Amino acid sequence: EEDDDEKVTNEFNEFLLSLPREKGWRTPYLYKFQGFWCPPKEIQAIMSFQKHFQAKDTDVVLASVPKSGTTWLKALAFAILNRNRFTDKNRHPLLSSNPHDLVPFFEYKVYANSHVPDLSGVPDPRIFAAHVPFGSLQESIKKSNCRIVYICRNPFDNFTSLWFFINNVRSRSLPPLSTEEIFNMYCNGFVGYGPFWDHMLGYWKESLERPDKVLFLKYEDMKEDVTFYIKKLAKFLGCPFSVQEERDGVVEDIAQLCSFENLKDLEVNKSGNSIIYFENKHLFRKGEVGDWMNYFSPSMVEELRNVMEEKLGGSGLEF
């Protein structure tokens, strides 16, 4: 079996070398795979995911560009879908597990290390997450009646969040990246799962064509009125809140349970390590809208505005 493993690794390395590459953020390089930029381990996992995953109509897939509020969306979707299973407020799984343990990424957990997992024991509705662009989702996800929820964030804050994050998790053995360099990489689309505009537009267009299939959410809107979006999410997922539940404050309880302030201070989120490559504490920084204003120079504002105008203009997707 070891020989087989070695063969797979050699074949993969050869394949990798055939791909265009650019300097990476967390890893030395990003490779252009199926039209988007991706670190090598993730490419291997995505290939395994595309080969083996079989969606069920009852599945829910949460999708996003990294640093768009994925952790929050995972917590909300898990709490909404499982609200009848976990009724004791003081013993909810979100109090002892990180959202990434409860809703695993295809690329970082389910198919990490090309693992082919046995998913037969996972109770329905299964909830998974993906950073891959819409076009690279496993075919059965697109074809079945399973539902996709996308969370999108203003690129200004997305970049700011990513920049801080990378400063924390970039390997110490790699040379540091200057803010200017990393900002140029972002604006040129050389970023994990990017270009960000292709990623956003892929899911955006699908949500317009198939609104029952893809729900497109924005971080900023959710911060403004989380209870409205919790109800919207529940309805979209086929489990709307009853009048009685609303009267009992179930929606507000979920908002509170999943809030940045609540999750950030939990022991599991201060000390755990739920995703290979980094610690949970880096997933909770500020959780605000508009923090970019503290870091962007006027020329950076202009440059990113221009990129957004050029790439997103006319699509109807606005921030």
∠ Cα 55 227 248 (to 5°): 100
Tokens at 159, concatenated: 């970049």
* Structural contact between residues 284 and 260, judged by C-beta atoms closer than 8 angstroms: yes
**Position 258 contacts ligand A3P (CB under 6 A):** yes
H or E stretch at 95 = helix 93-96
What residue type is 117 in one-letter code?
P
DSSP secondary structure letter of residue 240: P
Whole-angstrom Cα distance, residue 277 to residue 279?
Answer: 7
Interaction mask 162-201, ligand A3P, x per CB under 6 A: --x-------------------------------------
Catalytic residue among 92, 100, 131, 199: 131
Choose the binding region for ligand A3P from 21-29, 45-53, 195-203, 256-264 (rule: CB under 6 A).
Answer: 256-264
**Position 98 contacts ligand A3P (CB under 6 A):** no
- Pick from 48, 64, 274, 280: which binds ligand A3P (CB under 6 A)? 64
Q: Look up tokens 């690279």; give the residue.
A: 136
Which of 31/72 has CB closer to ligand A3P?
72
**Position 22 contacts ligand A3P (CB under 6 A):** no
Which of 49/105 has CB closer to ligand A3P?
105
Does residue 131 have an active-site annotation? yes
- Pick from 36, 48, 53, 67: which binds ligand A3P (CB under 6 A)? 67
Whole-angstrom Cα distance, residue 279 to residue 268?
Answer: 10
Which one, of 77, 113, 62, lies nearest residue 277 by Cα?
Answer: 113
- Pick from 70, 98, 138, 154: which binds ligand A3P (CB under 6 A)? 70
Give 101-112 as a 3 state SS string: HHCCEHHHHHCH
CB of 105 to ligand A3P, least distance (A): 11
Choose the binding region for ligand A3P from 45-53, 67-75, 80-88, 180-188 (rule: CB under 6 A).
Answer: 67-75
**Position 260 contacts ligand A3P (CB under 6 A):** yes
Q: Look up tokens 């999943």; give the residue.
A: 258
Omega before residue 125 within 30° of 0, cis: yes
Catalytic residues: 131
Which residues of this protein are in contact with ligand A3P, per CB under 6 A? 64, 66-72, 75, 157, 161, 164, 258-260, 263, 283-287, 291
